Amino acid sequence: MRGRHDVAAGSVGFFANVFNPALRDRYAAAGATFVDVTAATGGYGPLGETVVDPGYGTVPVPVARVCALTFACTRDDPHPTDAGYAAIADQVLTS
């Protein structure tokens, strides 16, 4: 379980400090607006707050959100599910 927690913590840091800032910079260079969907969907939330997920048991709230919005937990694929694409579209349309 500790290894999975480390992966989740590393993912939060990666998206907060590397991936999304790089996207933000690229969008700005192109004159486009960057929408931080990770922040908007609670992906940067504290890993100490947990929820019981029917498929995975007790997991951090941000992990449950990732599992609900991507295929990361079911297929080891970070691409969005239909719900994930809907969340992205909602954020883009309201920005």
Which of 26, 15, 92 minimizes the C-alpha distance to 7? 15
Residue spans of alpha helices (H) in 15-81: 20-29, 37-40, 61-69
The CA-atom distances, in angstroms, between 85 and each of 4, 38, 42, 49, 66 are 25, 12, 15, 25, 12
**pLDDT confidence of residue 3:** 59
Each residue's pLDDT tens digit, 7-33: 777 888 898 999 999 999 999 999 999
**pLDDT confidence of residue 5:** 65
